[in-house]
Amino acid sequence: MKAARLVSEIVILGARSRPITASELAKRLEVTERTIYRDLGELSRMGVPIITEAGPGGGVSLLGDWVSPVAGLTRDELDSLLIGSPAAADLGFSSELATARAKVLTESASAFSRLILVDGPDWFMAQESPEQLDTVAAALRSQRGLQITYRGRKGRRLRTLLPLGLVVKAGRWYLAAQPPGGSPRTYRVSRIVSAEVRFLGITPPPSFDLAEYWRNAQSEFDASIRRIHVRLRLPVAQIDDLLHAIPGRLTEEAIDSGRTDRGIIEIDLPMESDEVAVSQLVTVPGVEVLSPIELRRGLHDRARAAAELNE
């Protein structure tokens, strides 16, 4: 797991008196150099004083006499600290997280973290409590297979999976897992009706990186549901309104490649069905649909109906 790998990197760097190359660190942890550099960036953002030196004799090391509090933490405390709240709470690690934070704060002169609260779910969205989350997490921690009953669009199906990682987004949990002989896929944990850990040891694909997989999965999902191409014109001042109504990387890319003239921007934007597109665009002030004509008429009819009701 990524959390265990980050801890291993801290321990390795803390035990050395000389720098270690990213290549050597990658070999010891059986990952790619790209993964190591990504991890080092994450450790730096967490406050670990990482130093990288180029040239002969260079490599990666820790700054000065910095001492990690890792040695005083249990495995559960380490995991809870690295995954953070509210994920730790959902996984039953609330007390471990509180203990870990208290131990870390005793080693630090800064209490800035006491002034920051991370609240995961979006506004006005009920947080899920998926019943099978504990079983899924147990399979991940023990690196075992899973047999689940999954409630999908075509009803319930029995599936055997190799769990690769968990993602929590806006209070909702998703499992990245791979069917034997297949490719990694995403499963919503709240739709797992039953789950059982199978005593089958698994070895994750060596090139699999959960963060990269999730970024690609989000982009692919966004593209799969945005199947109509819409040409829009709107005031530049209303770009934020458009982003609020239709968030996502595809919208940002469309705006970046748009054509601007005298305070007006014209963009080509992939959107969902006409019905969904109308409900989104009717909230954007000053927007004009240039094509397709069916969507333009639909937006006109929706706006006129609303105006008539509020005369």
The total of other beta-carbon atoms located within 10 Å of residue 293's CB is 9
Q: Which helix (H) or strand (E) holds 30?
A: none
What is the per-residue pLDDT for 116?
Answer: 61
b/e per residue, 65-87, with b = 16+ CB within 10 A?
eeebbbeebeebbbbbbbbebbb
- CA 84 vs. chain centroid, Å, equals 13
The total of other beta-carbon atoms located within 10 Å of residue 39's CB is 22
Per-residue DSSP letter, 124: T
What is the per-residue pLDDT for 221?
Answer: 83
Task: Quickly list H helices, 152-292.
Answer: 210-225, 239-245, 249-256, 274-281
How far is 49 from 38, CA to CA, in rounded Å?
A: 15
For the chain of 311 residues, list the mean pLDDT of each consecutive stretch of 10. Answer: 72 77 86 86 80 78 67 71 75 78 61 61 68 90 90 89 88 89 90 88 78 86 86 95 89 92 94 92 94 94 89 79
What is the per-residue pLDDT for 108?
Answer: 53
The C-alpha angle with vertex 242 and arms to 237 and 248, in degrees rounded to 5, equals 130
What is the per-residue pLDDT for 127?
Answer: 66
Amino acid identity of residue 128, one-letter, is: E
How far is 301 from 311, CA to CA, in rounded Å?
A: 15
Q: What's the predicted TM-score (pTM) here?
A: 0.59
Amino acid identity of residue 212, one-letter, is: E
How far is 201 from 80, CA to CA, in rounded Å?
A: 24
Give the E-state strand segments of the chain in sequence order.
Answer: 50-53, 59-62, 144-152, 155-169, 172-178, 185-188, 192-201, 228-235, 259-261, 264-271, 288-291
What is the per-residue pLDDT for 158?
Answer: 93
How far is 92 from 103, CA to CA, in rounded Å?
A: 19
Q: Give me the torsion for CA of 100, 104, 106, 107, rounded to 10°.
A: 150
How far is 57 from 23, CA to CA, in rounded Å?
A: 13
How far is 282 from 276, CA to CA, in rounded Å?
A: 10
Burial (0-12, 13-18, 19+ Cβ within 10 Å), 309: exposed
Amino acid identity of residue 126, one-letter, is: A
